[in-house]
Chains A and B, each alone.
Chain A
């Protein structure tokens, strides 16, 4: 007897953001993200709890993909961050932290979601148009005639991943390698469109980081015994290559459902092998020199090929198939070494990020000042703008001056908090009143201090404290000021140790953060299907 059960009614919750549980879980998530941010960020051990490998990381891509969150609001947040990371690879934590900060700050203002959403959009467009403008004071154009800027960019990315466990020397070596690998993927002569090649990361775990290197071309692993057999290679002209992605192991790929009945004395295996050998004869008569197979080649076929002086390499894996199929393009292999698995995995992600960021930078040839300076500078600019020229926003939206002020404060302090999240050791965070850059100081400084002596350089490393500057704590309220725009060219040209961020990734991060926060703030109901 079957029994029908009535469907459970769906559960509908209104004003989901006001729930204590949602606030608490958002707070935990934010805690995880902010504590991981930056070069001195704390690491997380991510594991399944059932044994298996332990991933030690502070990177958003590793953290977000491993966080199976349950609440719909958190899901919106993590999904949109993951989308950003999968497109841009960089600035994932920046985006997620900014989004959390915005949600938190806006809730405190008590403004209606509609007003906030509108104003946030305006503030966002102020930011993006400033960052894209000529007058932008936190943007540097990349000079491709010298490697300095790109090297700084790569070094900043590598430095911001502490779980790679690199010493200074190793970090510099690796940054140079990454840049070289990238340059090897740029074709020498292009006609109208630039098509970048690939860099393949080859693992060499357990070795010293300084043994990492870059080679042009594709590196294929094969056994020493096999190698001895084919050496020395006498042929001088180009090799004729046959590339197989299908298995040549001689099994039957798919016999379908049901049972197959064969007569006694008929050997299917031999029949398949005979087919393989006739393929081999064809390859030999076509004068193929090298047979590469993604999967396994039957030992008898291998034997046949090697008897006819054809080199056969099998089990190269799916990752190499695409680069192998366009081996004529610019491809290089980055042999990556690190002492242990955890650190190697982190290093691999870092290299992928850096290579991707370089690709983005070649499309949009500029970089942003890093180390928190862009955030504080941008906040200063927005504060000044809404204080001095509020009309342009107010006339469109019908908001009051107070609403704009509250909203601006929420937005700007969210940006500044992201910068402040770089500090993990209880230091004091400040901003200067001329450039609007980010500075940090020892928290237990005596009450009357000589700031220029206590501080050394700003976050991005562009300015030092010996200039005539005035500082203010980031948390304190201060009068809006005009941060110096138009970055002088000589200031950036000489500095060889700047902390820089990817322009495209950060700009997108800013947009994703604001839009996701708007979406979450605007949620009125969560309807859950309980069946």
Chain B
């Protein structure tokens, strides 16, 4: 074994460059409008349609050391939060470039690491001011307002950075992409409603600089402006302050609304508003999430009776059933377990319908040869057959007969199996009126165990009366017309029992290639809501948080530090090093580079959501607002005020009877912040790495062009 060692950042930092180029592939996934990609395997000519970071990384060759670290970081984010991976990937790219820029400018690596790390910390502290608390959203669930009632209105995808969507729709890449939510949204809106926006492009910004103080003039000017001819700014019951209710920055850093009765009026206590805000334009998915939550809530209320335990949204009890080839409109949410079975079961299901059946739950496979995990089969045992007794049946047959006997003995007509099931057994069972379903999700098993009293067992031999569950109903699931479902040659059935805490979300898509995307998008929305409800607070979204970070960093960079400033010396782990005293020299550079990362994030977001025709345009536009925010003296107050204006007062009487509000855009907090941290951690980890040590590699295993730069020990 020979060890090879390669110095990887002599002149240019290869690691950072690799990170940038990997991250570049995912930039179109940033924001609510995600352009899909085709990934084509040149060897086997297979292709997949993807539109999320996770699916992208699954398809990329990430065998290099840096690629693996990137994959590890993205997977860790996904496994923990199921969301935030696109943000993570984008920021990895943006900040690797930022770190590289700092290297070019001669900033010592240790200083880059400390300043960037503490700079992001400072941002995370700063954005606390943009948190919106969630209060008792389930108190108003009985009201008639549901998510579906609002869906016909064109909600802004990204209000903080929004321009009217008609300009965006003319963009080529949106028109080409049938899956684009912006298009869907547009087609949903019967009335040409345009969403308000906080950040308007320069022309308008100039105009309303003069009118900021007077709501009436603002309204007039907006109505008069060509862009706003048809604009409607909708009244929000939660953001209903008038423009003279300015937010002021108290000396302690907390924001307080000046002139308001209670200081904390930014809050969300309406589930639909919260869901709308978290949908990020994907209303179809969020509508399904809304229905699933409502079903869970109803079920919990019934189960609890008078006991008033606070309701907890249990995402583990939501199950998705995908039906490719069925039109999109048939997606729906139902209580119980909906699954697809083969058409040969039709007669059996008919017989089982309308009567309670008994169930057993098998944890492993239901085959003759299956043994539990950790059981090692001895290979050197032969069974001696006595020549006199020639066996009539194979051992498989004996086993099958035994299973059937058990099922009959305990009067069981339904077997749910987590693993595989012997084909032969399934056939035999069909004839004896027993339905056996394999590959059942473990949470489904658990839900049935709880609701029916069944106990999960590993082997059929373990079954006794205590293990059998009662009162299960099996029926055809007929929400999809039979002609549609016949075309795809399966039958759908629903299995449920009274009080079962399980909701199936049926996802349909006429295009098979999009099924995965659709399922991913549903879960993204579901997890966003789940995290928001768990944290009981959300961020003001649509770029507000990132804008505040950008503006905050620029202001920090502008502050001059006296040499003996202790605030700044604390930024370096190693306070006694010369780097601590040289920090003031490099700090503005590094902070500005970090801020540029946010700038790129925001401009790409705007470009992706079709708010701007080029990233340059987006960039100028952001610059303008940064200037405004700086001039205002307090960026967070500026953002809150602008956000407020977005939702205040201007009203179009023609549709007033239908429209209650346009909700704000919300983001979830911890997953977002963790994605930032993970991104920066990865960049800084790679930045600090100076060599790659490859163990177990001989001279011969390296190609001659690769050996360059390698040293052998």
Contact = CB atoms under 8 A, between A and B. Distances in A.
* A and B are partners in one complex rather than unrelated chains: yes
Interface of A: 25, 28-29, 32, 35, 38-40, 42-51, 53-54, 56, 63, 66-71, 74, 159, 162-163, 165, 167-169, 171, 205-208, 225, 247, 249-252, 255, 257-264, 268, 295-296, 298-300, 303, 307, 314-315, 339-343, 371, 423-428, 440-442, 453-461, 497, 499
A167 B121 contact: yes
Interface stretch (B181-189, B241-249, B617-625, B674-682): B674-682
16 contacts: A32-B693, A35-B690, A47-B694, A69-B3, A71-B713, A163-B685, A165-B685, A169-B121, A206-B76, A255-B381, A260-B380, A261-B381, A339-B76, A341-B76, A455-B578, A499-B574
Nearest to A268: B381
Interface stretch (B103-111, B510-518, B599-607, B657-665): B103-111
A387 B384 CA distance: 90
B374 A249 contact: yes
A442 B110 CA distance: 13
B693 A67 contact: yes
A74 B712 CA distance: 12
Nearest to A258: B380
Contacts of B695: 46-49, 66-68
Contacts of B485: none
A440 B108 CA distance: 14
B374 A300 contact: no
B693 A427 contact: no
**Listed residue (A303, A423, A459, A460) with the most chain B CB atoms within 10 angstroms of its CB:** A303
Contact of B685 (A255, A261, A343): A343
B108 to A, nearest CB: 3
A419 B218 CA distance: 66
Interface stretch (B39-47, B198-206, B456-464): B456-464
Interface stretch (B65-73, B222-230, B588-596): B65-73
B576 A44 contact: no
A491 to B, nearest CB: 15
Given A28-B713, A339-B678, A168 B118 contact: yes
A295 B374 contact: yes
B113 interface: yes
A427 B579 contact: yes
Interface in B1-41: 1-5, 8
Contacts of B581: 442, 454-456
A159 B573 contact: yes
B579 to A, nearest CB: 6
Nearest 9 A-B pairs (CB), nearest first? A296-B374, A425-B108, A299-B458, A42-B690, A457-B576, A40-B110, A68-B1, A206-B80, A49-B694
B375 A440 contact: no
Interface in B39-84: 63, 65-66, 68-69, 72-73, 76, 79-80
Nearest to A300: B462
Given A40-B577, A40-B579, A440-B578, A48 B696 contact: yes
B696 A68 contact: yes
A78 to B, nearest CB: 9
B578 A45 contact: no
Nearest to B112: A425
Interface string B538-577: 0000000000000000000000000100000111011111
Contacts of B701: 49
Contacts of A63: 693
B383 A262 contact: yes
A296 B684 contact: no
Contacts of B577: 40, 423, 427, 440
Interface string B90-119: 000000000000000000111101000110
Contacts of A48: 694-697
Contacts of B691: 32, 35, 42, 44-45
Candidate in B63, B383, B713 with the most chain A CB atoms within 10 angstroms: B713
Given A162-B113, A342-B685, A249 B382 contact: no
Contacts of A427: 108, 577-579
Interface residues of B, number: 86
A266 to B, nearest CB: 8
A494 B571 CA distance: 22
B576 A456 contact: yes
Given A50-B696, A165-B684, A300-B459, A43 B378 contact: no
Contacts of B172: none
Given A45-B693, A268-B381, A339-B73, 8 more contacts: A56-B689, A68-B2, A165-B684, A168-B573, A261-B381, A339-B674, A424-B110, A456-B575
A497 B713 contact: no
A340 B72 contact: yes
Interface in B345-394: 363, 371-378, 380-386, 389, 391
Contacts of B422: none
Q: Which of A40, A63, A168 has the most chain B CB atoms inside 10 A of its CB? A: A40
Nearest to A63: B693
B582 interface: yes
Contacts of A68: 1-3, 695-696
Nearest to B67: A54
Contacts of A51: 63, 68
Contacts of B1: 68, 70
A517 B696 CA distance: 27
B373 A296 contact: yes
Nearest to B563: A453
Nearest to A171: B573
B692 interface: yes
B688 interface: yes
A251 B378 contact: yes
Contact of B681 (A66, A165, A207): A165
A207 B80 contact: yes
Contact of B579 (A206, A425, A459): A425
B675 to A, nearest CB: 10
A425 B681 contact: no
B693 A44 contact: yes
A134 to B, nearest CB: 27
Contacts of A169: 121
A262 B458 CA distance: 26
A343 B121 CA distance: 18
B157 interface: no
Contacts of A39: 573-574
Given A29-B713, A54-B68, A167 B375 contact: no
Interface centre among A29, A63, A428 (most CB of B within 10 A): A29
Contact of A44 (B381, B574, B692): B692
Q: Which interface residue of A45, A163, A247 has the most chain B CB atoms within 10 A? A: A45
A249 B697 CA distance: 40
B76 A340 contact: yes
B382 A260 contact: yes
Contact of B457 (A159, A207, A259, A303): A303
A46 to B, nearest CB: 5
Contacts of B79: 206
Contact of A255 (B108, B378, B693, B694): B378
B653 to A, nearest CB: 50
Given A260-B381, A456-B575, A298 B372 contact: yes
A116 to B, nearest CB: 25
A280 B61 CA distance: 51
B711 interface: yes
B603 to A, nearest CB: 27
B685 A43 contact: yes
Nearest to B450: A228
B573 A43 contact: no
Interface string B459-478: 10110001000000000000
A459 B578 CA distance: 10
B491 to A, nearest CB: 30
A242 B674 CA distance: 42
A169 B110 CA distance: 18
- Listed residue (A205, A261, A425, A427) with the most chain B CB atoms within 10 angstroms of its CB: A425
A274 to B, nearest CB: 12
